[in-house]
Amino acid sequence: MSKMYKEMTKEELLNEQNELTKRYDEFKARGLKLDMSRGKPGKDQLDLSAGLNDVKDYVADGLDVRNYGILDGIPSCKKLFADLMGVDAKNVIIGPNASLTLMFDYISQCYTHGAGSTPWCKLDEVKFLCPVPGYDRHFTICEHFGIKMINVPMKADGPDMDVIEELIKDESVKGMFCVPKYSNPQGITFSDEVVERIAAMKPAAKDFRLIWDNAYCIHDLDDNGDELLNIFDILPKYDNEDMVIEVCSTSKITFPGAGVSALIASDNNIAAIKKRLNAQTISYDKMNQHRHVEFFKNADGVLEHMKKHAAILKPKFDIVLKHLENELGGKGIANWFNPKGGYFISLDVMPGCAKRTGELCKEAGVTLTTVGATYPYGVDPDDSNIRIAPSFPPVDELDIAAELLCICVRLACVEKFLG
Amino acid sequence: MSKMYKEMTKEELLNEQNELTKRYDEFKARGLKLDMSRGKPGKDQLDLSAGLNDVKDYVADGLDVRNYGILDGIPSCKKLFADLMGVDAKNVIIGPNASLTLMFDYISQCYTHGAGSTPWCKLDEVKFLCPVPGYDRHFTICEHFGIKMINVPMKADGPDMDVIEELIKDESVKGMFCVPKYSNPQGITFSDEVVERIAAMKPAAKDFRLIWDNAYCIHDLDDNGDELLNIFDILPKYDNEDMVIEVCSTSKITFPGAGVSALIASDNNIAAIKKRLNAQTISYDKMNQHRHVEFFKNADGVLEHMKKHAAILKPKFDIVLKHLENELGGKGIANWFNPKGGYFISLDVMPGCAKRTGELCKEAGVTLTTVGATYPYGVDPDDSNIRIAPSFPPVDELDIAAELLCICVRLACVEKFLG
């Protein structure tokens, strides 16, 4: 069963194709409609936070949270995030329901006002480094502002630092988006060495900004989660505090559409952001901040809550990984990581076979993340990466979808070998 | 008692000063701490919307509002605002808790991407027209983006259209902020003629944008409120639909810190804004949108709710106006409007006396909106305008604060006459 495809004879390949097509057609005949495209929590996960809607009082830290005021978040909510992220509350700004907005708005601010520098809109060219595969919404922000994206390969312990250290000698390279823990889509956590090298970077651009999107900071799949160094503990050693903007949110802790986000930054950056916020808003939704504090009580409350998510998610990851191992293991046609947390499994199939796999899945009723979306401009140069999002479908549907996906991968690869 | 100050002899003025100083000192001795600075609803107004926090279900229009998705607002909430504002739901985007953010983000978008035109950041100069006195947060947005502000005088029925029609011949004049109903701070509602002339404008700048901040669209003080023409009914006649961006919110309907805002615009503008939103957010807070729909049921529900606000606010406006009439009437030292809605009373004192009035108030424990804040760059060229915000303090405190304010106005004017 696990003969390498490249060692198969034409006849063996045709046999394989024959068998796979039979299985594929059986699935297809079932008229499936399954979705593994979005990193969306399932309904059972959302129900874990039903208690949020029980919070009715409106006094927090002696303030009426219903009224105007408090630009950077209510003190109790700032403390909650500060404790979770291991930083001072003064370095936290509580944001709207999506950390994506905090990132977009910060890049927009750099574009219109610079980062203690010439506004980026006044420059001929601005470039960002993009570890790939990566998160499509980071790429969309760059594209929106006409920022030229440069691919940087991901290694097993984070982005290739040799490449990065070379590229940042170019003064027009102004920044980089990272998901340092359980990266999207690979689930890779940056090693201590990588975090240290990142914190020590000396980019030619004095206004280089690293967007540290810690979306999955506490999103372990079990008690055996990865540890990520707190970059803000290391930055002072290199006099680099102003280089990093960290964001996180409760999107995958409470409600994706009605959570609370937070931004963590140096004193200088916090001051610059508050100056903009003072023109942009009267305050973010303090009632929702208060709801979250009342519901969780403290950082330990959040961590306890995350164990309930893990209990729901772990079996979903396991079933996908089981199929990958069973169907694709030892055939030399696919690689993947076994992530210890996050929301995705990243599957690298034989070059030139990802799009075809996506097509085959679609025809049989399984929606995958658009192939290519994990690369800037939607172009995967190897046509190899497939992002699997196991969180939303129920386990029984995943069981079907994952098996079918594997069949499609194999079919696509056989086709490729048969030319 | 109501002799014109300018007709008084020096002796009469000294007597007046003497009497006023006695009254002033009596107030001062009471160690007051009263605030008429912010257009903030009072606690009793916020309590009217306590029912918002009773909404616990999470299914709206067949969608789970807790999860990702729905960029422009849930259909039922779009319909609610469409009905209130007399527009099609397809021309509505539901925003975050503050319409200020919708305005800032739109100007930011024009700055970075233009409005179907050259991005404003690429131009040497961008100017906005500012009807004065006006809303300081509009001025702050302009200042943030380095937009040069040009004062346009307000008349009794809206901004001086002769002046505007002349100024828009300058191609670098790219826009104007307006509060067309119960203007901030004067409480003036634009007449039908003014709205028609605005809708008919033919600015030299093809990307001229009028920000129609309809913050007080349904905020009457009694059944006898002003009527404002719906500018979107008139714009098509002049082929000018793309010129106007309207915003409104529930900030002064439900909770200022946790309400819902809306943006109304032409098909072209909605498409351009959605394109940006697609990079900026995964959606605004749909749970809060749903709460508002469930709480109000429909547009009539909102209008009924507004009557409860009016019942609380009207006595507050009345007591301030009573003191203004009693203390300042017939002395030739101050003018004001009797607004039929909104959140402010605008008092124009004798030129050169507003700042001094503010100082005297402050010394005696009454905080006013910073004098000058109703003008661009914080500079009232006549040092004449004082914005009174009667909503937040209880009636008994307002009674004291308004009397003291009048004494301070009179003292400042007497001082001025005495040189």
Q: What is the mean pLDDT of residues B274-289?
A: 97
In angstroms, what CA-CA distances link B341 with B179, B302, B311?
Answer: 12, 16, 12
Predicted local confidence at residue A38, as pLDDT = 87
Question: pLDDT, tens digit, for every residue of B310-339?
Answer: 999 999 999 999 999 999 999 999 999 999
Q: With an 8 Å Cβ cutoff, are B67 and A97 in contact?
A: no
Residue of A nearest to B142 (CA): A279
Q: Is A255 on the interface with B (CB under 8 A)?
A: yes
**What stretches of A69-191 adopt beta strand conformation (E)?**
92-94, 127-132, 148-155, 158-159, 173-178
With 80 as the cut, is the pLDDT of residue B1 above it?
A: no
| Optimal mutation site among A40, A55, A101, A247, interface B, most CBs of chain B within 10 A | A101
Residue of A nearest to B143 (CA): A279
Q: Is B74 on the interface with A (CB under 8 A)?
A: no
Q: Specify the long-range contacts of residues A311-316, CB closer than 8 Å, at least 24 apart.
A: A312/A42, A312/A44, A312/A45, A313/A45, A313/A221, A313/A390, A313/A391, A314/A221, A314/A222, A315/A395, A316/A390, A316/A391, A316/A393, A316/A395, A316/A398
Residues in contact with A59: Cβ distance below 8 Å, sequence separation at least 6, in sequence order: A65
B347 beta partners: B336, B386
Q: State how far the Cα of A238 lies from the Cα of A233, in Å rounded to an integer.
A: 10
With 60 as the cut, is the pLDDT of residue A219 above it?
A: yes
Q: With an 8 Å Cβ cutoff, are A281 and B104 in contact?
A: yes
B110's tokens: 């024009």
Q: Is A148 on the interface with B (CB under 8 A)?
A: no
Q: Is A37 on the interface with B (CB under 8 A)?
A: no
**Main-chain dihedrals φ then ψ at residue A152, nearest 5 degrees:** -125, 125
SS3 A131: strand
Question: pLDDT, tens digit, for every residue of B361-378?
Answer: 999 999 999 999 999 999
Question: pLDDT, tens digit, for every residue of B160-210?
Answer: 999 999 999 999 999 999 999 999 999 999 999 999 999 999 999 999 999
B150 beta partners: B129
Q: With an 8 Å Cβ cutoff, are A257 and B69 in contact?
A: yes
SS3 B402: helix
Q: Does the model's ipTM exceed the 0.85 cut? A: yes
Q: Which of the four pLDDT bands, split at 50, 70 and 90, describes residue A1?
A: low
Q: State how far the Cα of B371 lies from the Cα of B165, in Å rounded to an integer.
A: 29
**Main-chain dihedrals φ then ψ at residue B164, nearest 5 degrees:** -60, -45
Q: Is B66 on the interface with A (CB under 8 A)?
A: yes
Q: Give the one of B112, B143, B251 whose C-beta lies nearest to A108's C-beta.
A: B112
DSSP state for residue A297 in the 8-state scheme: -
B145's tokens: 């983006």
Beta-carbon pairs below 8 A across chains A and B: 156
Q: State how far the Cα of A315 lies from the Cα of A399, in Å rounded to an integer.
A: 10
User: Considering only CA atoms, which of A227, A224, A183, A189 is closest in space to residue A343?
Assistant: A183
Q: Is the Cβ–Cβ distance between B151 and B130 less than 8 Å?
A: yes
Q: State how far the Cα of B329 lies from the Cα of A41, in Å rounded to an integer.
A: 65
Question: pLDDT, tens digit, for every residue of A323-362?
Answer: 999 999 999 999 999 999 999 999 999 999 999 999 999 9
Q: State how far the Cα of B92 lies from the Cα of A160, in Å rounded to an integer.
A: 45
Q: Is B69 on the interface with A (CB under 8 A)?
A: yes
**What stretches of A101-181 adopt beta strand conformation (E)?**
127-132, 148-155, 158-159, 173-178
A159 beta partners: A154
Q: Give the one of A53, A68, A105 whose C-beta lies nearest to B257's C-beta.
A: A68
Predicted local confidence at residue A138, as pLDDT = 98
A254 beta partners: none
Residue of A nearest to B286 (CA): A257
With 80 as the cut, is the pLDDT of residue A37 above it?
A: yes
In angstroms, what CA-CA distances link A158 with A114, A170, A192, A236, B353?
Answer: 28, 21, 10, 21, 65
Q: Is the Cβ–Cβ distance between A217 and A84 less than 8 Å?
A: yes
CA atoms within 13 A on the CB side of B79: 12
Q: Give the one of A54, A141, A288 whose C-beta lies nearest to B285's C-beta.
A: A288
Rounded to the nearest 10°, the torsion over CA B213, B214, B216, B222 is: 150
Q: Is the Cβ–Cβ distance between A337 and A353 less than 8 Å?
A: no
Q: Which of the four pLDDT bands, split at 50, 70 and 90, describes residue B2?
A: confident
Place of tokens 């079919």: A411
Q: With an 8 Å Cβ cutoff, are B257 and A69 in contact?
A: yes
**Which A residues, 196 through 225, put their C-beta within 8 Å of a C-beta on chain B?**
none
CA atoms within 13 A on the CB side of A118: 11
Residue of B nearest to A55 (CA): B53
- Work out the number of other CB atoms within 10 angstroms of the CB of residue B148: 15
Question: pLDDT, tens digit, for every residue of A79-118?
Answer: 999 999 999 999 999 999 999 999 999 999 999 999 999 9
Size of chain B, expressed as the number of residues it contains? 419
Q: Is the Cβ–Cβ distance between B193 and B230 less than 8 Å?
A: no
Q: Is A38 on the interface with B (CB under 8 A)?
A: yes
Q: Got the DSSP string for B50-75?
A: GGGGG----EETTEETTSS--TT--H
User: Considering only CA atoms, which of A220, A199, A145, A205 is closest in space to residue A173?
Assistant: A205
Q: State how far the Cα of A115 lies from the Cα of B252, in Å rounded to an integer.
A: 35
CA atoms within 13 A on the CB side of A113: 16
Question: pLDDT, tens digit, for every residue of A231-263?
Answer: 999 999 999 999 999 999 999 999 999 999 999
